């Protein structure tokens, strides 16, 4: 029976004959009805969740329909109301709608008039209840997210301080031992100690990169118009200084403005360009290109190089944390840089992908929102 129930109606009309006729008629239409001729008795019977809709006469001796509606909503905030009124009190019915009633029907009324009004009111109630449930779930998710962020902050602090301290101790003592007693250690033993030092340094670098990945995921976005060309020119000098003595041909195209968080976008560009410099180490000249193009109306920024490249069969691993497509002996790194780029682009609402062939270089593309002025011009 519940599956067929169209709604639970509380019907209030001081004219007993009309109230009973309305209850009987709507019962036959699949509604469960409860009728009262007294507004006060109807209010006493009201319980939270007990009824879906209040169908009440507007003009009654004990309490008018507006007063009954206001009192009913205090008992059950989810209930909705439809007023019944005569032609002479339409203005009062409109006033009732201003006070929260969803609709009104005129007496004497036909079933064909009443049913659509009730159905519409029940649908609005259903949407309100669902929206309220969504809002509650959203608040619960936000609370969970805030708790998770606090846990992540605590974890980051632990990683940054408590876990890195033993690594520094291992590294420090090994270096002291090599400095003070290295000449007494046979080459095989010295090589083992140097591997310990190298492993500790690498682990420290991995922890630092993981913390950087975590920070770029949590840092609030502060978007504003950004001149891409200025940002690229800001990133390049440090990379050029680190690669002094190499023959590198830089091709920087005309770069437009975009809408982005400048500090996060700078980090993304630094990681992409740093990779381009690293993976062209065995090329002379190395060619590194930065430019933009259009794809389906989107602005696409790309960083292209003529370096080592990679096999596209493994492209799905590119943006995973600690995923590497080249051995540590070929190219140093922790495999976190592209994960950071991916997360930054994703947080800006963009996409990132790559095209490459082994020994024929690689090209990384990512979309960014245009600046508002440029978007309007486009």
The set of residues, in sequence order, having a beta carbon less than 8 Å from that of 340 and lying 6+ positions away, is 209, 212, 213, 216, 267, 268, 271
Instruction: Tell me, yes or no, whether 323 and 268 share the same domain.
Output: yes
Residue 331's SS3 state is coil
Instruction: Tell me, yes or no, whether 74 and 206 share the same domain.
Output: no
Model pLDDT, residue 16 = 93
CA-closest candidate to residue 5, choices 47, 45, 52: 52
| pTM for this entry | 0.54
Q: Which of 202, 218, 234 is the last residue of a domain?
A: 218
The set of residues, in sequence order, having a beta carbon less than 8 Å from that of 238 and lying 6+ positions away, is none
Kindly give the pairing relationship between strand 7-12 and strand 53-57: parallel
Model pLDDT, residue 329 = 65
Percent pLDDT > 90 in the chain is: 38
Q: What is the CATH number of the domain that holds 15?
A: 3.40.50.2300
Question: Whose structure tokens read 């029907």?
Answer: 105
Distance CA 353, CA 92 (A): 63
Which of 93-107, 141-155, 218-232, 329-343 has the lowest average pLDDT? 141-155
Is residue 51 in a domain? yes
Confidence of residue 146 (pLDDT cuts 50, 70, 90): confident
Instruction: Tell me, yes or no, whether 33 and 174 share the same domain.
Output: no
Q: Is the pLDDT of residue 243 over 60?
A: yes
What average pLDDT does the segment 81-109 reach? 80
Model pLDDT, residue 99 = 79
> Domain of 17?
7-109
Cα–Cα distances in angstroms (integers) from residue 319 to residues 29, 96, 101, 338, in the given order: 59, 59, 55, 5
Residue 67's SS3 state is helix
Model pLDDT, residue 1 = 42
Model pLDDT, residue 189 = 86
pLDDT tens, residue by residue, 294-305: 877 788 999 999
Model pLDDT, residue 229 = 92
pLDDT tens, residue by residue, 281-328: 989 899 999 999 887 778 899 999 999 888 888 888 888 776 777 766
Confidence of residue 37 (pLDDT cuts 50, 70, 90): very high
Q: Which of 174, 196, 218 is the last residue of a domain?
A: 218
Confidence of residue 72 (pLDDT cuts 50, 70, 90): very high
Confidence of residue 363 (pLDDT cuts 50, 70, 90): very high
Is residue 129 in a domain? no
Look at the chain and report how many structural domains it folds into.
Answer: 3
Is residue 125 in a domain? no
Instruction: Tell me, yes or no, whether 55 and 69 share the same domain.
Output: yes
Model pLDDT, residue 48 = 92
- CA 308 to chain CA centroid, Å, is 35
Model pLDDT, residue 183 = 83
Q: Which of 198, 218, 238 is the last residue of a domain?
A: 218
Q: How many helices (H) and strands (E) does the chain have?
A: 11, 12
Is residue 141 in a domain? no
Model pLDDT, residue 211 = 72
């Amino acid at each position: 029976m519940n599956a067929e129930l169209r709604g639970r109606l509380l019907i209030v009309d001081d004219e007993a004959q009309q109230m009973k006729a309305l209850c009987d008629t709507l019962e036959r239409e699949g509604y469960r009805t409860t009728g009262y001729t007294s507004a006060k008795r109807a209010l006493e019977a009201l319980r939270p969740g007990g009824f879906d809709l209040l169908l009440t006469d507007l003009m009654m001796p004990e309490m008018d329909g507006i007063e009954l509606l206001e009192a009913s909503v205090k008992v059950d905030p989810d209930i909705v109301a439809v007023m019944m009124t005569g032609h002479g009190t339409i203005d009062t019915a409109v006033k009732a709608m201003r006070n929260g009633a969803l609709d009104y029907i005129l007496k004497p009324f036909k079933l064909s008039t009443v049913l659509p009004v009730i159905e519409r009111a029940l649908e609005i109630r259903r949407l309100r209840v669902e929206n309220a449930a969504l809002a509650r779930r959203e608040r619960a998710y936000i609370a969970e997210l805030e708790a998770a962020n606090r846990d992540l902050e605590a974890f980051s602090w632990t990683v940054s301080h408590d876990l890195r301290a033993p690594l520094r101790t291992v590294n420090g003592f090994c270096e002291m031992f090599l400095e003070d007693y290295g000449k007494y250690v046979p080459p095989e033993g010295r090589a083992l100690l140097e591997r310990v030092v190298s492993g500790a340094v690498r682990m420290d670098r991995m922890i630092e990169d993981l913390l950087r990945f975590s920070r770029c995921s949590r840092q609030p976005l502060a978007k504003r118009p950004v001149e891409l060309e200025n940002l690229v020119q800001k990133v390049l000098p440090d990379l050029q200084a680190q690669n002094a003595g190499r023959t590198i041909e830089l091709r920087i195209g005309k770069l437009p403005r975009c809408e982005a968080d400048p500090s996060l976008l700078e980090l993304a560009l630094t990681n992409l360009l740093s990779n381009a410099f690293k993976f062209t180490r065995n090329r002379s000249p190395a060619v590194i290109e930065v430019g933009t193009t259009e794809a389906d109306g989107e602005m696409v920024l790309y960083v292209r190089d003529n370096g080592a490249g990679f096999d596209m069969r493994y492209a799905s691993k590119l943006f995973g944390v600690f995923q590497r497509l080249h051995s540590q002996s070929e190219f140093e790194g922790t495999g976190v840089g592209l994960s950071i780029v991916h997360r930054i682009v994703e947080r800006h609402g963009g996409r990132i992908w790559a095209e490459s062939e082994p020994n024929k270089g690689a090209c990384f593309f990512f979309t960014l929102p245009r600046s508002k002025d440029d978007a309007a011009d486009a």
